[in-house]
């Protein structure tokens, strides 16, 4: 299963008190519980996330794009080298391509965020 990432906003954590809420991933790949969020505790293993992302991204592309470089290039408007590097787990995605995919794809939300509709 994909990385479970908690992307919450202040009102989802118990009220609009002006505190900032950050995305987080705990060591067990489970989102922090509501008590942690309400108290401002955000266990995060960003280094672990960065280490896992290339492999997770490659698995997602192989499963949902059948490892087809042409389809990946067309969907993400990237060059062939980038598509191949993603498929081989050389590096993960960042920024706009991942955000676009998570916004548009229920499968991506489930895989990367652990969120199902």
For the chain (117 residues), the mean pLDDT of every run of 10, in chain order, is 35 37 48 63 74 92 95 94 96 89 90 78
78 shares its domain with 108: yes
- pLDDT for position 39: 66
Kindly state the DSSP code that residue 17 receives in the 8-state scheme.
-
- The count of domains in the chain is 2
- pLDDT for position 41: 60
Q: 79 Cβ partners below 8 Å, 6+ apart? A: 73
67 shares its domain with 108: yes
16 shares its domain with 51: no
Burial letters 7-22, b for 16+ CB under 10 A, else e: ebeeeebeeeeeeebe
Which domain covers residue 16, as residue numbers? 1-44
14 shares its domain with 57: no
Single pTM value for the model: 0.60
32 shares its domain with 19: yes
- pLDDT for position 13: 38
Strand partners, 24: 6
53 shares its domain with 40: no
5 shares its domain with 24: yes
């Amino acid at each position: 299963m994909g990385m479970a990432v908690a992307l919450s906003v202040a009102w989802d954590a118990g009220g609009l008190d002006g505190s900032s809420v950050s995305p987080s991933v705990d060591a067990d790949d489970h989102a922090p519980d509501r008590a942690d969020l309400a108290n401002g505790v955000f266990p995060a293993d960003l280094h672990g996330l960065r280490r896992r992302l290339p492999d997770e991204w490659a698995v997602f592309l192989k499963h949902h794009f059948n490892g087809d470089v042409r389809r990946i290039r067309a969907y993400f408007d990237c060059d062939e080298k980038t598509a191949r590097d993603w498929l081989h787990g050389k590096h993960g995605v960042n920024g706009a391509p991942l955000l676009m995919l998570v916004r548009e794809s229920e499968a991506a939300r489930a895989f990367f965020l652990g969120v199902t509709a």
